[in-house]
């Protein structure tokens, strides 16, 4: 791309080979012979890949974190601390003294407020990748995160309106796992320069087994929510058995537990494949961490089952679900990566050019190492 095509705050007054003069700013970054053009307003931010990744990592952590706070709502029986939605109580957006135990109102309302933290994180990522002029794939991923949070807020509201019926609670939890998965993909893709060439890192048999492993993980998650649906923690003391899943909890927990072994089995095949083909160190490390997290999560699951699902184990099991999903996704995303790009500062050639213009305009060295 020619730097002279970059749109910014400044009007190009004159241009010579290797030298563009924009208002009072003179720079030698634009070796181009293109006609003088009017530059559009320049947003003054072109964040580096590092900044974009930090924001994406925060978003990933928040996406996983809100499932944990959601589980705290459930195990403290605070699910109807706000008994309607989008208002907290009829006629009030915020908790009302005496409408429900104050602790339940505080826990449920606090969890609702966290949605705004999540929205802020998603917005920050979206603005960062747009400002850095990243490729479409990344912008679409960032956009999906924002839309997903809004949809999740509505599903959460519906689950309150249907008095925390087990399937509504399950359907509220599962999209969060999808958003965690996608946030991990977004985090990975941001690190790959837009002008890099896509490279398949694994042979097709490994990719196929990885698909089976991902499907098995989906079964683990769905059967997990069904175990919860049949389990002791409904989210509010007033929930009747009509709203619970009427299956034997022991049977459900066993189906859930055995589906984990299927998932672990296929994951181990993929990991063995990764080592056999001598994949890069970072991929090997990621695969070992994934197996470790699955084993830890399995151990927590067995422990909580044997102990009769005490309240404190549930948020831990949920937190580890997010970790397992995130690491499966991070590992999965390594199957096809972009390599050898030259846009190593912001991740996009246009973004790097923009950054150079901003640096020149502000008189700082445009090495792209700062924010």
Which residues within the stretch 69-88 sit at the binding site for ligand HEM (CB under 6 A)? 71
Residue 214 near residue 262 (C-beta atoms within 8 A): no
Angle at which helix 102-131 crosses helix 136-161, to 10 degrees, equals 160
Q: Cα 209 from chain centroid?
A: 24
Query: Of 106 and 316, which CB lies nearer to ligand HEM in the complex structure?
Result: 316
**Binds ligand HEM by CB under 6 A, chosen from 76, 111, 159, 225:** 225
| Torsion from C-alpha of 247, 253, 255, 259, nearest 10 degrees | 150
Q: What is the rounded CA–CA span in Å between residue 137 and residue 145? A: 13
Query: Of 225 and 329, which CB lies nearer to ligand HEM in the complex structure?
Result: 225
Gyration radius of the chain's alpha carbons: 25
- Determine the straight-line distance between the first and last CA of the chain, rounded to whole angstroms: 23
Our finding on whether 305 is near ligand HEM (CB under 6 A) is yes
| E strand spans, 231-369 | 336-339
Length of the chain in terms of residues written: 371
Q: Dihedral of CA 227/231/234/235: which sign? A: negative
Query: Of 148 and 347, which CB lies nearer to ligand HEM in the complex structure?
Result: 148
The stretch near ligand HEM (CB under 6 A) out of 77-85, 114-122, 282-290, 317-325 is 317-325
Which residues within the stretch 102-141 sit at the binding site for ligand HEM (CB under 6 A)? none
String of contacts with ligand HEM for each residue 235-254, x by CB under 6 A: ------------------x-
String of contacts with ligand HEM for each residue 255-284, x by CB under 6 A: -xx--x------------------------
Q: What is the rounded CA–CA span in Å between residue 328 and residue 181? A: 8
Query: Of 152 and 304, which CB lies nearer to ligand HEM in the complex structure?
Result: 304
**Beta carbon of residue 98, minimum distance to ligand HEM (angstroms, whole number):** 29
Output b/e per residue, 191-209; b: 16+ Cβ within 10 A.
ebbbbbeeeebbeeebbeb
Our finding on whether 297 is near ligand HEM (CB under 6 A) is yes
String of contacts with ligand HEM for each residue 150-169, x by CB under 6 A: --------------------
The stretch near ligand HEM (CB under 6 A) out of 21-29, 282-290, 293-301, 337-345 is 293-301
Q: For binding to ligand HEM (CB under 6 A), which residues are involved?
A: 71, 170, 173, 220-221, 224-225, 227-228, 231, 233, 253, 256-257, 260, 294, 297-298, 301-302, 304-305, 309, 314, 317-318, 321, 324
């Amino acid at each position: 791309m020619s730097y002279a095509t970059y749109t910014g705050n400044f009007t190009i007054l004159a241009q010579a080979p290797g030298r563009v003069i924009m208002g009072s700013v003179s720079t030698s970054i634009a070796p181009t012979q293109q006609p003088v053009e009017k530059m559009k307003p320049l947003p003054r931010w072109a964040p580096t890949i590092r900044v974009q990744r930090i924001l994406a990592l925060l978003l990933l952590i928040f996406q996983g974190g809100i499932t944990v706070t959601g589980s705290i709502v459930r195990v403290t029986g605070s699910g109807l601390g706000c008994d309607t939605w989008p208002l907290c109580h009829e006629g009030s957006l915020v908790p009302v003294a005496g409408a429900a135990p104050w602790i339940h109102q505080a826990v449920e309302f606090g969890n609702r407020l966290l949605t705004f933290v999540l929205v802020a994180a998603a917005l920050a990522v979206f603005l960062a990748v747009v400002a850095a002029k990243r490729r479409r794939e990344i912008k679409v991923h960032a956009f999906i995160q924002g839309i997903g949070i809004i949809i999740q807020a509505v599903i959460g509201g519906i689950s309150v309106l249907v008095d925390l019926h087990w399937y509504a609670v399950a359907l509220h939890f599962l999209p969060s796992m999808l958003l965690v998965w996608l946030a991990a993909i977004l985090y990975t893709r941001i690190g790959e320069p837009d002008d890099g060439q896509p490279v398949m890192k694994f042979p097709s048999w490994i990719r196929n087994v990885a698909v089976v492993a991902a499907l098995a993980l989906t079964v683990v998650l769905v059967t997990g929510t069904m175990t919860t649906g049949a389990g002791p923690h409904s989210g509010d003391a007033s929930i009747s058995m009509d709203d619970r899943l009427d299956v034997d909890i022991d049977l459900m927990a066993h189906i859930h537990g055995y589906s984990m072994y299927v998932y672990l089995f296929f994951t181990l095949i993929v990991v063995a494949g990764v080592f056999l083909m001598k994949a890069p160190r970072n991929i090997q490390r990621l695969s070992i961490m994934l197996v470790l997290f699955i084993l830890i999560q399995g151990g927590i699951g067995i422990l909580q089952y044997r102990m009769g699902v005490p309240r404190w184990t549930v948020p831990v099991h949920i937190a580890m679900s997010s970790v397992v999903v995130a690491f499966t996704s991070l590992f999965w995303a390594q199957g096809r990566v972009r390599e050898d790009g030259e846009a190593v500062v912001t991740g996009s050639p246009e973004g790097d050019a923009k950054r150079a213009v901003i640096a020149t305009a502000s008189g700082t060295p445009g090495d792209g190492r700062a924010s």
